[in-house]
Amino acid sequence: MCTRAKLAEIAKVEALSPFHGTLLNEKSNIQPIVNLFPKWSIDKADRNWCAGFVYYCCVKAGFLIPYSPDECISCSLAGCGAWEEFAMDDERIGYHLGSDERFIPEAGDIVLYDKVFINLEHDHIGIVLENKTNTIIVAEGNTYNDNISRIIERNKDEHIRGYIRIPNHFSY
């Protein structure tokens, strides 16, 4: 059964594996992520696979979501902006602005960031593992733009663009 709790568990394990793109002395191991996107290659994905990591975890958790749903206008779910388009245009999915103080993030929610790496809107994404008073613990791919997945603690601040809550047992 696909649930957000299962998504969080899988994201934690996968982030700690860790995945990594091409590193100085190591060949990339992101092929399982890249394989989910027919138009992608390791070269195209390298240093740009955080959204692909989120999709990979969703698929592994059992959520039935195509890599490029009809709601995605700009690109496939390999891009952060597409996740926002998908969430905003599919009424079954919850989308909550980061500035909405009434929304309480939970394990398995997806978090979209603004201006984390390249000073652009929705330039990074991750999966919430734990909500704390002023921070969230998140599983992310390509953290700090260093091409490695890991679990990190992020402040709940102006960099959080929004949260996506996929319903348990969701099937597109």
- Per-residue confidence band for 65, with pLDDT thresholds at 50, 70 and 90: very high
Is 171 domain-assigned? no
pLDDT of amino acid 118: 79
pLDDT, tens only, 23-55: 988 899 999 999 999 999 999 999 999 999 999
The arithmetic mean of pLDDT across residues 131-144, rounded, is 94
Quote the number of domains for the chain. 1
Run of H or E including 53: helix 50-60
Q: What tokens were used for 44?
A: 């195209």
Is 172 domain-assigned? no
List of residues 6+ apart from 66 with CB closer than 8 A: 172
CA 86, 128, 169, 34: dihedral to nearest 10 degrees? Answer: 60
Q: Are 48 and 142 in contact (CB under 8 A)?
A: yes
Q: Which domain holds residue 123?
A: 4-165
Residue whose token pair is 């000073």: 119
pLDDT of amino acid 119: 80
Instruction: Record the pTM.
Output: 0.97
pLDDT of amino acid 133: 95
The sign one gets for the Cα dihedral 93, 16, 121, 97 is positive
* Least trusted range by pLDDT, from 38-42, 71-75, 97-101, 149-153: 71-75
CATH number of the CATH domain containing 45: 3.90.1720
Q: Quote the DSSP letter at residue 88.
A: H
Mean pLDDT for the chain overall: 95
pLDDT of amino acid 122: 81
| Residues 83, 143: Cα–Cα separation, whole Å | 18
